[in-house]
Amino acid sequence: MSYSPSDDIIAVQRGPEPGGLGGAYRAFGATLRGLRTTLGRLAEKPTTIEYPEEKTPVYPRFRGRHKLQTFEDSGLEKCVGCSLCVAACPAECIRVVAAENTPENQVSAGERYAAVYEINMSRCIFCGYCEIACPFDAITMGNDFELADYERSDLIFTKEMLLADSIERTPLRREGE
């Protein structure tokens, strides 16, 4: 099939020319329609979620504040201080110092444990790579997002803070909701 330049011409539906008396008349009609539309919104309930009092539930996959896990039966920490999370972290916000477990001081289930486990929350980008890198599911991402604080130093979460449950629970959406 040979090419003809008219094949490229697409017919466009154009509105009436603006301006003039016709334009003014149409603008008047459009204005009235607009007024009716906004009046309809007046009858509806505001869609505002008044945040500090009401919270939007988050999805289970939502990545919020980290949590260090322990075994439910023995109470031992899952973290063995391998520092894989430190290696995976793109923001370089995790610091781990490992120490040997001794029979008197058995902290974790493995040979070693994390003597220091700190996450700098002001640097963390909540990518969840630490969670993926962890071979023992020791570090997981929770659902809490209200982490604001007055001091930068308060945003460096220590091991005790990461082991503890969050004080206020973030509402969670159920599956399929």
C-beta of 37 vs 102, nearer to another protein: 37
Q: Please give the structure tokens belonging to residue 95.
A: 């610091």
Quick count: other Cβ atoms within 10 Å of Cβ 177?
Answer: 8
Backbone angles phi, psi at 58, to 5 degrees: -95, 160
Binding segment for another protein (CB under 8 A), chosen from 30-38, 66-74, 134-142, 167-175, is 30-38
Which one-letter amino acid corresponds to residue 110?
G
What does the alpha-carbon distance between residue 5 and residue 55 come to, in Å, rounded to a whole number? 59
C-beta of 22 vs 90, nearer to another protein: 22
Smallest distance from another protein to CB 29, Å: 13
Give the CA count within 13 Å in the CB-facing half-sphere of 169: 5
What does the alpha-carbon distance between residue 155 and residue 147 come to, in Å, rounded to a whole number? 8
C-beta of 24 vs 172, nearer to another protein: 24
Q: Are 122 and 157 in contact (CB under 8 A)?
A: no
Residues in contact with another protein, counted by CB under 8 A, come to a total of 17
| 148 makes contact with another protein (CB under 8 A) | no
Binding segment for another protein (CB under 8 A), chosen from 8-16, 31-39, 96-104, 109-117, is 31-39
| 37 makes contact with another protein (CB under 8 A) | yes
What does the alpha-carbon distance between residue 133 and residue 36 come to, in Å, rounded to a whole number? 56
Total residue count of the chain as it appears in this document: 177
C-beta of 31 vs 158, nearer to another protein: 31
| 56 makes contact with another protein (CB under 8 A) | no
Binding segment for another protein (CB under 8 A), chosen from 2-10, 46-54, 75-83, 140-148, is 46-54
Residues that bind another protein (CB under 8 A): 19, 21, 24, 31, 34-35, 37-39, 41-42, 44-48, 50
